[in-house]
Structure 1
Amino acid sequence: MFTGDTAGVRYEWLKDDGIDFFLPTTSPNHFDPEAMIQSIDRIREYGLDRLYFGRFNMTENVEEAFQQVSKWIPVFVKEGEKALSSGKSVDGLVKSLHDRVSKHLKSFHIPENHKVFKVLDLDLQVSAMGIIDYLQKQNNLLKS
């Protein structure tokens, strides 16, 4: 199935290191964590052999992709909530997300200068904007 951004992003730059790594895409105006998890659960029911992503190829490790993305969604939201409550900007959230992802990848012995970080840094910038956008909209709904 071609999932676009619904099932996240696969970072193929880690393939040569023997790592299948997936993160959610949380771009502005589109990110809704609950809807994303519900969509993943619906897609999971098809019992697919392959997922094709909007960017960076496909995977045959379908369940692993679903598990990783589903695990990271609440982490991204929690980091966003912490950033907003402490008055951090998007850049502050990018740093927090980068630190969390970097720590995870270091557990696989991926160095900070690995080529995957060039793509991750851009993706995390967009993700941070989407998370802040989502949380601000939620806060506005609560106020009205």
Structure 2
Amino acid sequence: MSAEYGIHTIDTGFHRPRFDAAYLMVEAGRAAFIDCGTNHSVPRMLAALSAQGLAADDVDWLVLTHVHLDHAGGAGALMRELPRAKLLVHPRGAPHMIDPSRLIAGATAVYGEAEMARSYGTILPIAVERVVEAPDGHEFALAGRPLRCIDTPGHARHHLCLWDARSRSWFTGDTFGLSYREFDTERGAIAIPTSSPVQFEPEPLKASIRRLLDTSPQAMYPTHYGRVEGVERLAAGLFGLVDEMVDAVRVAAGEGGDVHARLVEALRALYLRHLRAHGVVLPTEDILEVLGVDIELNAQGLLVWWARTAPA
């Protein structure tokens, strides 16, 4: 668990090591969690708190970047352990935290009942009086440390990013893509957009990334995985990849037949090309193992977007 500016990276243990991060921010003996993984992640979250000499009632906030289950599935279970904490969430996400039935149904449609039970467990509701909605520009503080949320659609319409003026950094959830440490080279990190179903929108995503850049951030803290610098270079790569992903689904859809399978192959080739250009020397099978879940979900999300927006 790394730390800078009182920010600690927690591996939630979801799927594999260094896949899914949550963050613990500590200021003057008070704490906030940013994202929380699944129900199975709760012991890791509490252990991270204890490692800093803090107790459950020292936590003031659990901030969710959005309500996809790898970020928020454990929120109800974690909040039951944090007696003084409030949940901060996008206004579109708040109803799903108070009554998670639609969230569960949507995720089950994507993953299936068996995978839902294995990976996420029972999603618990959160009492309405503990939920704070964070519209665009919402400001709050952790022990006097100023924090600000902005609305960042593109990956999901219930997505926010959190600005920490102290570290000059954004907690970006999935807005600033996926940046796995396995793909770091002497050139630094590389980021790949995530278009998982069902609310991917390429132009709003690019607009959201531009808003993040407006603050000249020192670093980003994406959920997948951990702190990254060189944000202007990473953003340029994300813009290019979003456009190439859109081109890929347009071509795959235009050829008929098994569009999904063809799009998966196109995304594999696209990401491999970019990773090789970045200097990644891992065997192809290892790269595809790391990206396997993301490629499948990106293909699904691109096809949902294309079906919604393609000209008749």
Q: 1:42 to 1:127 in 2, by over 3 A?
A: same
Structure number with the bigger relative contact order (C-alpha 8 A, sep ≥ 6) is: 1
Query: Which piece of structure 1 moves more, 38-47 or 82-91?
Result: 82-91
Amino acid of the residue matched to residue 309 of structure 2?
Q
Q: Work out whether 1:123 is the aligned partner of 2:278.
A: no
Q: 1:109 to 1:27 in 2, by over 3 A?
A: closer
Task: Point out where structure 1 has 5 or more consecutive residues left out of the alignment.
Answer: none
Question: Deviation of residue 14 (structure 1)?
Answer: 1.7
2:214 corresponding residue in structure 1: 45
Task: Report how many residues are paired.
Answer: 140
CA contact (8 A) 2:200 2:301 kept: yes
Q: Once the two structures are aligned, what percentage of the paired residues are identical?
A: 24
Question: Deviation of residue 13 (structure 1)?
Answer: 0.5
2:226 corresponding residue in structure 1: 57
Question: Deviation of residue 114 (structure 1)?
Answer: 5.9
1:100 corresponding residue in structure 2: 270
Q: 1:35 to 1:53 in 2, by over 3 A?
A: same
Structure with bigger gyration radius: 2
Amino acid of the residue matched to residue 180 of structure 2?
Y
With normalisation by structure 1, the TM-score equals 0.88
Question: Deviation of residue 62 (structure 1)?
Answer: 1.2
With normalisation by structure 2, the TM-score equals 0.43
CA contact (8 A) 2:180 2:224 kept: no
CA contact (8 A) 2:179 2:225 kept: yes
CA contact (8 A) 1:91 1:125 kept: no
Q: Which contiguous aligned blocks of 4+ residues in structure 1 show a shift greater than 3 angstroms?
A: 111-116
Which structure: greater helix fraction?
Answer: 1
Question: Deviation of residue 7 (structure 1)?
Answer: 1.0
In 1, the alpha carbon distance for the partners of 2:275 and 2:218 equals: 26
Map residues 1-144 of structure 1 onto 2, 5 A cutoff. Answer: 1-15=170-184, 17-18=185-186, 19-87=188-256, 88-107=258-277, 108=279, 110-113=281-284, 115-139=286-310, 142-143=311-312
CA contact (8 A) 2:198 2:304 kept: yes
In 2, the alpha carbon distance for the partners of 1:73 and 1:3 equals: 17
Amino acid of the residue matched to residue 134 of structure 1?
W
Question: Deviation of residue 76 (structure 1)?
Answer: 0.3
1:48-73 per-residue CA deviation (whole Å, 9 max, x = no partner) reads 00101022112012112211111100
1:2-24 per-residue CA deviation (whole Å, 9 max, x = no partner) reads 01111111121022x43421110
Q: 1:32 to 1:109 in 2, by over 3 A?
A: closer
1:75-95 per-residue CA deviation (whole Å, 9 max, x = no partner) reads 000000001111232221011
CA contact (8 A) 2:206 2:239 kept: yes
Question: Deviation of residue 109 (structure 1)?
Answer: 5.5
In 1, the alpha carbon distance for the partners of 2:287 and 2:195 equals: 18
Which structure: greater strand fraction?
Answer: 2
Please give the root-mean-square deviation of Cα atoms over the aligned residues, in Å: 1.7
Task: Point out where structure 2 has 5 or more consecutive residues left out of the alignment.
Answer: 1-169
Question: Deviation of residue 74 (structure 1)?
Answer: 0.5
